[in-house]
Structure 1
């Protein structure tokens, strides 16, 4: 796929440096930057497996507790439909309540529409997250540990973290950003998520330019929203830049603490990243169901 430079992408709207990649992808596209996960990129991920160590990087479905952003706790009911069997049921389940993927139906670029300019409606499946489940999100993961930061992480700092880790971010990689927020939250040290305060990536055009230039297939973090909160008004919204405009999937509330330890012990920060979203037609988001294999 021929990928133009970020500054070559057309602007959208009359205010702010918001650029879109809608002409880079097919008009009816539902994969976006996941198209960078070519067979070669997947093989690169498989080649990182040398120790056969598997690390879970998803939270239990009932964490964080209490849920963030006004979502409610789900009810898990276990019952016996017959004498010799058991079944269970989830009621009030929010697919984006724990470790999650934000799909392309999650955020729109205001009046311009969702990814590729698609207007969509509540019953539409064109950008449903179930399309991502057909091949999963499986490739080389790269962990960048910025857990010493406390606030906004700019593109220069993110690029230095890659250099410090001795890893070159390559096309198709899944970028994993450890801010340390989740570890502090679980210890009770972090400010409550409802107060919308956590370290994270800048929402700036320069950050979008770096991520687009790396040609990654997805970006994830261990905080509630990938980008810093509160954001800086002059930077704008990273969610709007990535999801509807660039078609770059966002993962949130991953747990990278055990993975960071394993990477330090092995002296490398690349691994096989495996996640298969729910095959949910029309889904807005999905639990990540993710592991790292080293």
Structure 2
């Protein structure tokens, strides 16, 4: 009888957990295993947070949307592994040779321990000089100076500096899930759309949606009948890496050295996603665990609308933002396999107090 009672209790507990996880996440802190989440327009105001903030995982949360990478979602994503083929998405550490936004170039030195017997490496680098994840300490909500989950500048530098939103929190959690590639560059070429990835060019949500349809991919969230699942990691190919290798060395280096600021007249000019309401709704409501692209800025730079997607993605929503990923091999493999989804893993740097990190990422088919 006791065995029966114990089994019944366990079953009731399992049912309770299932019902709990199936509910729409509303009460704070949100349950990451929930199967339905509020749209951007349904977000409730969070006390002490800017308007539109989704600081919803608890006051001591510093991984944001990575909370969505639960064991059950990672396990489901592992079913994308069918052939075992690995596609790295990392540029060489010395690419770009001259980084944009006045960042330091990568330096590599060999240290001789014992001649002809043992050697070491010495690296000097800016973690955002190449293939990178923008961490939550990187870009604030500009009107309030607030970084994700009420982190401030004096939490990052100065006598009161601490580990709020440090990149090591990502490393301790890990990044692994289902990746989805949107190949806008190929779509643009097919449709006769001409632009230079080294100049300001805005990719609208409407264009992304049309691009997805051309690939046979409905980029709407599953809740609206689309193919995007909660916790997916989206990659958008806009053409920077291809353009980098096609442009003469002197030209691309000179373009990287253009003046940088946050004004609409900034000399740094890059193709990327458009700052618009439809784009905000899509990026938020899909509940991506992370977003990434091959461009130096992900969004069209500089903004012409007085605000940046970076503010929403990083500071208000806590969503990792990847830039300058090498998606050239990935798009080839997707075409070869006639599929645009895959398993993806990334190993952020375990640097207490760090701002950002190289991606160290692989797609696995």
Check whether TM > 0.5.
yes
Secondary structure of 1:116's match? helix
Distance of 2:230 and 2:39 partners within structure 1: 14
Report the equivalent of 2:232.
173
Distance of 1:124 and 1:202 partners within structure 2: 34
Deviation at 1:229, TM superposition (A): 1.8
User: Number of matched residues?
Assistant: 287
Q: 1:11 to 1:135 in 2, by over 3 A?
A: closer
Structure 1: runs of 5+ lacking an equivalent: none
- 2:268–2:302 Cα contact (<8 Å) kept: yes
Deviation at 1:75, TM superposition (A): 2.4
Q: 1:63 to 1:121 in 2, by over 3 A?
A: same
Residue by residue, what CA displacement relative to the aligned partner does 1:225-269 show, whole Å, maximum 9, x if unpaired? 1101232226x2100111000111100000111111110111100
Deviation at 1:100, TM superposition (A): 0.2
* Alignment RMSD: 2.0
Report the equivalent of 2:214.
164
TM-score (norm 2): 0.74
Q: 1:70 to 1:112 in 2, by over 3 A?
A: closer
Report the equivalent of 1:203.
275
Secondary structure of 1:47's match? helix
Report the equivalent of 2:120.
87
Deviation at 1:121, TM superposition (A): 3.0
- 1:276–1:290 Cα contact (<8 Å) kept: yes
Q: Map residues 194-233 of structure 1 onto 2, 5 A cutoff.
A: 194=258, 195-233=267-305
Tell me which structure has the larger Cα radius of gyration. 2
Deviation at 1:112, TM superposition (A): 4.7
Structure with a larger share of its residues in helix? 2
- 2:156–2:164 Cα contact (<8 Å) kept: no
Structure 2: runs of 5+ lacking an equivalent: 1-30, 196-200, 218-226, 259-266
- 1:18–1:205 Cα contact (<8 Å) kept: no
Q: Map residues 1-294 of structure 1 onto 2, 5 A cutoff.
A: 1=31, 3-9=37-43, 19-22=52-55, 24-83=56-115, 84-91=117-124, 93-110=125-142, 111-119=144-152, 120-122=155-157, 123-147=161-185, 148=188, 150=195, 151-167=201-217, 168-188=227-247, 192-193=255-256, 194=258, 195-233=267-305, 236-294=307-365
